[in-house]
């Protein structure tokens, strides 16, 4: 299935990793994919068939056209029938906060409609997007909307430096090291992470470590991955991977296609 990737305007590069889009017809079949935690928040605009989302709490039909998926802490499965067409904004871990100015914690493990966040402005945005047929033109409409809501007075750097350090270290660092690097107490760091990212520092580093380890499955032996990513032993490693992805490392090794196409970018 073709996935198109687009990169943000330079004014938004500190906040958005990229946009991805799929537009495909499924005749007599359905679309299904799994999303695993990766420390990011996604804003999706649907133009065709509604999605079904399944997780530990059951399956629900999502009919709204603009949806915010907060941080996820376990795998979720998405499916749709007939014709799927959507654009997703993939925010950096703390990238959404300056556009919303509300605690990200409320969105964690939740799907929220765009109208619940931005009110009636979303209806106008959807109308403007529907007037465009070209994906890049639709992205320009999204970017204009976001730039109007960007809080440029927000002190973005401190938490961004923490995020960059965690990503650079592949999640392999202690929370007190992170607090020390940010010149914050553990309590201050915890509050800032929950407010800006939607996860505690320990939850965030745990997810980033897992995500990097999953990307390396198939390239190294399990014993080597356990050592590199500082898991206690193979049993701990397998349990951790299955907790987040719903499958064992062995199954991942035989078919990464069970996950969303952007899971390993």
pLDDT tens digits for range 40-60: 999 999 888 777 777 766 677
Buried b (16+ CB within 10 A) or exposed e, 188-223: ebbebbbebbbbbbebbbbbbbbbbbbbebeeeebe
8 A C-beta contact, residue 231 and residue 170? no
pLDDT band at 199 (very low <50, low <70, confident <90, very high): very high
Per-residue burial over 56-90, b if 16 or more Cβ lie within 10 Å, else e, is eeeeeebebbbbbbbbbbebbbbbbbeebbbbbbb
Burial of 55 per CB tally in 10 Å (0-12, 13-18, 19+): middle
Would you say residue 32 has pLDDT above 90? no
Could you read off the pLDDT of 149-170 as tens digits, one per residue?
998 877 778 899 999 999 999 9
Could you state, in order of their start, the residue ranges of all structural domains in the chain?
4-149, 157-258
Q: Which CATH architecture has domain 4-149?
A: Sandwich (2.60)
pLDDT at 49 (0 to 100)? 73
- Which residues have CB under 8 Å from 223's CB, separation 6+? 234
Q: Does position 250 have pLDDT exceeding 50, yes or no?
A: yes
**Entry pTM:** 0.91
Question: Is residue 257's pLDDT more than 60?
Answer: no
For 211-226, give the DSSP string.
HHHHHHBTTB-HHHHH
- From 2.30.40.10, 2.40.50.140, 3.30.70.2700, 1.10.10.60, which CATH number describes the 157-258 domain? 1.10.10.60
């Amino acid at each position: 299935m073709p996935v198109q990737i687009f990169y943000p305007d330079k004014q938004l590069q500190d906040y958005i990793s990229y946009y991805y889009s799929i537009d495909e017809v499924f005749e007599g079949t359905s679309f299904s994919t799994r999303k695993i935690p990766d420390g990011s928040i996604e804003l999706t605009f649907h133009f065709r068939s509604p999605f079904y989302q399944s997780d530990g709490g059951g399956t629900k039909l999502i009919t709204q056209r603009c949806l915010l998926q907060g941080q996820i802490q376990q795998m979720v499965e998405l499916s749709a029938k007939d014709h799927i067409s959507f654009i997703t904004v993939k925010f950096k871990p703390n990238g959404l906060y300056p556009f919303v100015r509300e605690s990200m914690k409320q969105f964690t493990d939740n799907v929220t409609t765009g109208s619940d966040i931005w009110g009636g402005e979303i209806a106008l945005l959807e109308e403007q997007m529907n007037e465009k047929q070209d994906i890049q033109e639709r992205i320009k409409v999204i970017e204009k909307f976001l730039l109007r809501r960007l809080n440029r007075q927000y002190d973005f750097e401190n938490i961004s430096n923490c995020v960059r350090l965690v990503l650079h270290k592949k999640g392999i660092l202690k929370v007190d090291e992170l607090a020390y690097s940010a010149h914050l107490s553990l309590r201050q760091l915890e509050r800032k992470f929950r407010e800006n990212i939607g996860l505690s520092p320990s939850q965030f580093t745990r997810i980033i470590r897992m995500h990097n380890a999953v990307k390396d499955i198939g390239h190294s032996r399990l014993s080597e991955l356990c050592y590199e990513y500082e898991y206690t032993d193979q049993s701990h490693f397998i349990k951790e991977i299955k907790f987040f992805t719903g499958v064992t490392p062995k199954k991942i090794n035989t078919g990464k296609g069970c996950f969303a196409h952007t899971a390993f970018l």
